């Protein structure tokens, strides 16, 4: 099991061989991609920034929790940093298990917990030239705290 931060493009084809296990009857994967709109605003690109040493530690804790909660054989999560274009892969998760239910559930758990807990930040660049650090507003609708999940 590994949770990794990378500043290079994520290549799922290169990650899948790490999840080879003939006991596995299921492999669930999740791709988080850069989306062209958020909260009604046109997004042109994203910057991701991470506190890598702690992000990888917290990510490894999430993978261990997933293994304890669900009957999975292995899990991998890779998250990008740097400047990303629309459609680029921001995060990739792969989980293998004997039966499909555990792989689906663990995949969901890993992305949800990662979004809530792993020290990674997202700055959106909008089509109108403005920018915003997501969840960091101190005025307006997002000021009360983290906004609802938006990935």
Partner 1 sequence: MNKTVRVSYFAILREQRGLANEQVSTTASSAAVLYEELRARHGFTLPGSRVRVAINDEFQAWDSPVRDGDSLSFLPPVAGG
Site string for partner 1, 72-111 (x = CB under 8 A): -------x----------xx-------------------x
Cα torsion 135, 66, 77, 62: sign: positive
Q: Kindly list the distances between the CA atom of residue 106 and the CA atoms of 40, 61, 116, in Å, as whole numbers in the listed order.
A: 31, 13, 15
Nearest to partner 1 of 50, 75 (CB atom): 50
What is the rounded distance in angstroms from the CA atom of residue 65 to the CA atom of residue 114?
12
Least spacing, CB of residue 9 vs partner 1, in Å: 17
Q: Binder to partner 1 among 8, 22, 130, 138 (CB under 8 A)?
A: 138
Using CB under 8 A, which residues numbered 2 to 31 contact partner 1? none
Within 8 A by CB and 6+ apart from 148, the residues are none
**41: nearest Cα among 143, 114, 127:** 127
| Strand partners of residue 81 | none
Using CB under 8 A, which residues numbered 27 to 66 contact partner 1? 32, 48-51, 53-55, 57-58
Total residues binding partner 1 (CB under 8 A): 33
| Contacting residues toward partner 1, per CB under 8 A | 32, 48-51, 53-55, 57-58, 79, 90-91, 111, 114-123, 133-136, 138, 145-146, 149, 151
């Amino acid at each position: 099991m590994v949770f990794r931060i990378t500043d290079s493009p994520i290549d799922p084809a290169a990650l899948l061989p790490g999840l080879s296990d003939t006991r596995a009857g299921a492999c669930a994967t999740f791709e988080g991609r850069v989306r062209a709109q958020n909260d009604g605003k046109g997004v042109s690109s994203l910057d991701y920034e991470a506190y890598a040493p702690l992000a990888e530690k917290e990510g490894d804790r999430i993978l261990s929790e997933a293994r304890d909660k669900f009957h999975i054989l292995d899990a991998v999560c890779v998250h990008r940093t740097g400047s990303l274009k629309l459609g680029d892969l921001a995060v990739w998760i792969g989980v293998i298990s004997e039966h499909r239910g555990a792989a689906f559930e663990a995949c969901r758990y890993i992305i949800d917990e990662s979004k809530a807990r792993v020290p990674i930040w997202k700055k959106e660049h909008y089509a109108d030239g403005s920018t915003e650090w997501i969840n960091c507003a101190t005025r307006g609708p997002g000021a009360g705290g983290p906004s609802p999940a938006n990935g």
